[in-house]
Structure 1
Amino acid sequence: MIDAPFRMAGVAVNQFANTSVFVERTLVREGQVVRIDASLPMPVAALLGCGVITGTGAVFNRARVRPGDSVVVVGVGGVGLNALQAARISGASQIVAVDTNASKAQIAQQFGATEFVHVRDSVAADVLDVVHGGADHVIVCIGSAPLVRLAVDLLAPGGQAVIVGFPGGGAQASFDMATLYQEKSILACRYGSSSPQRDVPFLARLYAEGRLMLDELVTRTMPLEQVSDAFAAMATGDTDARSVLMLA
């Protein structure tokens, strides 16, 4: 860990994850830097380090979706959209997007969803009407403890729930232990279970080949002065995918 290269009002501070900070330049360890091709547009490159690598990694690295598998993605935000397109790239035969916002249907289908389920109250029943017998993989991209139980309920025997979104500390989750007799699995997934030095160049190559949609993830670009507006749009769900702050 670098010894607080930044100070605010004379007090040493560290940037989030020792990498990110709202300045034009920063200081990080060598292992936190990945070289990218100069031809990669910067608004696109900015996406690779978080939402893209997290969502795609949940499918490629943790779930390891295979051709013909069925996949349910809960939460169609910047992470969920990348899980959807990773499932498409992996050859999943059925890709179901689940969200409480009906307006997400179009972009979900654009990124690879074969069906979209707008959920209200009876979430499990609504999704199981589409995925008969349950799904091979359920990718949860929202930090909500009750969704762990939902994910398990949506699985087919032998299926796996990949938990990408996490609530705050102290949250408790529960599920019917009898379902484990069906050899269902619950897998935690932090940062897409990724290795940035390996996965960032891989994702950049998929983009160059036209297989990974990144330009379409940029809903809007904004100057740093509008950072508060960007956070507000994210909190209210007004951003379909990602707002990109332009520092220069």
Structure 2
Amino acid sequence: MSVKTRAAVAFGLNEPMQIVELDLADPAPGQVMLRMLASGLCHSDLHAMDGKLAQRFPFVPGHEGVGEIIALGQGVTDFAIGEHVIPYLIPECGKCTFCTSGRTNLCVEYRARRNSARSPFSLDGETIAAFMELGTFAEKTVVWADCLVRIPKNAPADHTCCIACGVTTGLGSALIRAKVSPGSSVAVFGAGGVGLSTIEGARLAGAARIIAIDTNPAKEVIARQSGATDFIDPRDIHNIVQHIMEMTGLGVDYAFDCVGHPALARQTLEMTNAAWGVAMCVGVVAEGVEVSVLPTNLYAGRTWTGSLMGGAKRADVRRFVDMYLAGDYSLDHVVSHRLTLDEINRAIEMMKTGESVRSVIVYEG
């Protein structure tokens, strides 16, 4: 028997979300029902709403959440009612070639759920899609157990929800994918939620110099709080690549594009050390848009690569939660606004304008 839940629904491209009451199906075998505690707003949600990512409409956005398990589907034995969990963007089926390889966090189920027609949500008999089959902008949702990360109940939901995506992507990009080395130099385009966490990851890895690059000068203070040693507004620089080369001598050892722009992706590569530099595309580039580089920028040994959720598997997400609880890094300066579900469109506008660093929807009850 289905239950009712309030949710934020995007009914059309570039339209404000509407708060409506939806029917929520019972969990199928292998699924659980969650009562959401908090959900962060991520640019990926915005990209799905504005067409940068292909997405079925109407849909319930949201993928950066923490919830409490309130019902179990048949066959779910690894989790119990009452436990607090993160529904992680990347599942682990444990059976596909990706999962059994031990070489990647990718899973075939990730691709299957990316823009799935399956959804537990409906309105007047019409299916309402759930972003990534998560849909955490709802007071209750149903997700697959193979994507759940068990977390301690004392983990504050308004902070921990950010670890579900932005924090994990940033920390993982620096610590897992790039494997930033102690004493190295790092440049990061974008001081948003992901960029700040990439900076944090570089700091935790022991980087000696971390250069934050952002067009919003208000981000300098928070970037330095996250570990940046330098801050550059690229609008003040004639040639950002040349400037970084002059600052570092031979270029940075690692560079990250956490914005998702083709020009920045290229500059990220060009500003790295020609022999061993590692450039990483972290931010989401619009589907169908190409990035390019001169082959001569690769011949001497540079690496140009990407990062899917920082290369993190579920165990890594739990490790990042434990690191946060241990005080290895803080999210006090990252979570800038806490709002109710009814205020979600305001949160979206603040994300667009850069007024917020990370807004979090906190659910009542």
Q: Is the 8 A contact 1:119 1:126 kept in 2?
A: no
CA deviation digits over 1:204-244, x for unaligned, max 9?
121122111122211010111110010000001111x2011
Aligned match of 1:181: 299
Tell me how far apart the structure 2 counterparts of residues 177 and 213 of structure 1 sit (CA, whole Å): 40
CA deviation digits over 1:50-103, x for unaligned, max 9?
110111111111101111111111100010000001100010111110111111
Normalized per residue, the structure richer in helix is: 1
Aligned match of 2:360: 244
Aligned match of 1:63: 178
Aligned match of 1:47: 162
Tell me how far apart the structure 2 counterparts of residues 46 and 219 of structure 1 sit (CA, whole Å): 13
Aligned match of 2:239: 122
Tell me how far apart the structure 1 counterparts of residues 233 and 160 of structure 2 sit (CA, whole Å): 31
Does 1:88 pair with 2:203?
yes
Gap change, CA 1:10 and 1:125, over 3 Å in 2: same
**Aligned partner of 1:228: which letter?**
N
Tell me how far apart the structure 1 counterparts of residues 174 and 124 of structure 2 sit (CA, whole Å): 43
CA deviation digits over 1:5-55, x for unaligned, max 9?
111232113211111332111101111111101111110111110110111
Q: Is the 8 A contact 1:50 1:191 kept in 2?
A: yes
Aligned match of 1:235: 352
Partner SS state of residue 158, structure 2: helix
Q: Is the 8 A contact 2:222 2:333 kept in 1?
A: no
Q: Is the 8 A contact 1:55 1:82 kept in 2?
A: yes
**Aligned partner of 1:218: which letter?**
V
**Aligned partner of 2:158: which letter?**
P
Tell me how far apart the structure 1 counterparts of residues 156 and 252 of structure 2 sit (CA, whole Å): 36
Partner SS state of residue 247, structure 2: coil
**Aligned partner of 1:244: which letter?**
V
Unaligned runs of 5+ in 2: 1-112
**Percent identity of the aligned residues?**
33
Does 1:198 pair with 2:198?
no
Q: 1:129-148 counterparts in 2 under 5 A? A: 129-148=246-265
Aligned match of 1:222: 339
Structure 1 range deviating more: 170-179 or 72-81? 170-179
Does 1:105 pair with 2:220?
yes
Does 1:75 pair with 2:190?
yes
Partner SS state of residue 170, structure 1: coil
CA deviation digits over 1:155-213, x for unaligned, max 9?
10211111001221221222121111110011111111110x21122111211221111
Unaligned runs of 5+ in 1: none
Partner SS state of residue 255, structure 2: strand
**Aligned partner of 1:89: which letter?**
L
Tell me how far apart the structure 1 counterparts of residues 342 and 192 of structure 2 sit (CA, whole Å): 24
Normalized per residue, the structure richer in strand is: 2
Structure 1 range deviating more: 42-51 or 8-17? 8-17
Gap change, CA 1:209 and 1:10, over 3 Å in 2: same
Relative to the length of structure 2, the TM-score reads 0.65
Tell me how far apart the structure 2 counterparts of residues 160 and 216 of structure 1 sit (CA, whole Å): 28
Relative to the length of structure 1, the TM-score reads 0.95
Aligned residues: 246
Aligned match of 2:286: 168
Q: Which has the larger radius of gyration?
A: 2
Tell me how far apart the structure 2 counterparts of residues 90 and 108 of structure 1 sit (CA, whole Å): 16
Tell me how far apart the structure 2 counterparts of residues 89 and 170 of structure 1 sit (CA, whole Å): 35
Over 2 Å off, 4+ runs: 1-4, 125-132
Tell me how far apart the structure 2 counterparts of residues 199 and 48 of structure 1 sit (CA, whole Å): 10
